[in-house]
Amino acid sequence: MRCPLAKLDSGSYQLVIKLADKRRIKVGRLGSFVFPAGYYVYTGSAKRGLEARIARHLRRDKKLRWHIDYLLQFATVVEVNRYPNKVECELNKILSRQGGKVIVERFGSSDCMCETHLLYIGGSQANILHQ
């Protein structure tokens, strides 16, 4: 049986990411940054191939291409949330208003006006309020 969600293979998503230990990580051409231990939320979107994109995020062995690939070499995705009908920058802004902190400017936001698409949530996953 075909998954009823299969046709919704587009939209926005957020990855909840856990970095176990504080660590300096090189993020492609953006440079090298110290990431505090704790939880992060990365917001992205795909016009098509959303599930393939998410599967790629979860795969360890890959060529480093996007900023998020560099962080995920050392961190773990603990939760994936899909928002088929929401705009990624809006999701990101909501989280920012809820207290998400910028660690690296322009991370994942080269194509929009957002300061970053990776927000630091702190030491507890419970700090994330779901929309």
Which residues contribute to the site for Zn ion (CB under 5 A)? Answer: 89, 109, 112, 114
Residues with Cβ within 8 Å of 83's Cβ and at least 6 positions away in sequence, in order, are 11, 12, 13, 14, 91, 131
The least CB distance from residue 4 to Zn ion, in Å, is: 29
Nearer to Zn ion, 5 or 112 (CB): 112
Of 130, 131, 127, 129, nearest in space to 38 by CA: 127
The least CB distance from residue 108 to Zn ion, in Å, is: 8
The least CB distance from residue 98 to Zn ion, in Å, is: 16
Nearer to Zn ion, 23 or 53 (CB): 53
Closest residue (Cβ) to Zn ion?
A: 114
Specify the 3-state DSSP secondary structure of 94.
helix
Amino acid, single-letter form, for residue 48:
R
Nearer to Zn ion, 14 or 109 (CB): 109
Let me know: does 14 contact 81? Beta carbons within 8 Å.
yes
